[in-house]
Amino acid sequence: MTKYKYPLTILIDVLEDELCMVCGLPQDLCVCEEIAKEEQIIRVFLEKRRYGKSYTLVTGIDPNEVDLGGLAKKLKSKLACGGTQKEGRIELQGDHRYKIKQILEDFGFPGTNIEVQL
């Protein structure tokens, strides 16, 4: 039997938006994503595509543990570039390999877990 701190009806109401599905704490108290960030092993590399376009790819981040869409958005605004995220990886237009490690560190990912292929 699970014991709930709150009446079940209230709990269901707020569950979707306000409580973390992992630890059950309200989102503003939850540190699950912060902890998860420390466990991600990130690989960054450059991919050259047709017409001479290059993309910086960020892989290795578990989309179930870290809000990849939110991270992609923050990276794009920091680097002032376009990009997308899909299938667990972030694609950024242009070569950002020299800047991205520091930015990811600023977002809470430990530098020792970030491998940038130069």
Binding site for Zn ion (CB under 5 A): 20, 22-23, 30, 32
Burial (CB count <10 Å: 0-12, 13-18, 19+), residue 20: middle
- Judged by beta carbon, residue 30 or residue 57, the one nearer Zn ion is 30
For Zn ion, the nearest residue by Cβ is 20
- Judged by beta carbon, residue 14 or residue 23, the one nearer Zn ion is 23
Which of these, 70, 69, 61, 45, lies nearest to 113 by C-alpha position? 61
Q: Nearest distance from residue 72's CB to Zn ion, in Å?
A: 21
- Judged by beta carbon, residue 10 or residue 35, the one nearer Zn ion is 35
Q: Nearest distance from residue 24's CB to Zn ion, in Å?
A: 7
DSSP 3: P
The whole-angstrom separation of Cα 49 and Cα 69 is 23
Q: Nearest distance from residue 101's CB to Zn ion, in Å?
A: 26
- Judged by beta carbon, residue 12 or residue 23, the one nearer Zn ion is 23
The whole-angstrom separation of Cα 103 and Cα 118 is 16
Which of these, 107, 84, 106, 79, lies nearest to 95 by C-alpha position? 79
Q: Nearest distance from residue 37's CB to Zn ion, in Å?
A: 13
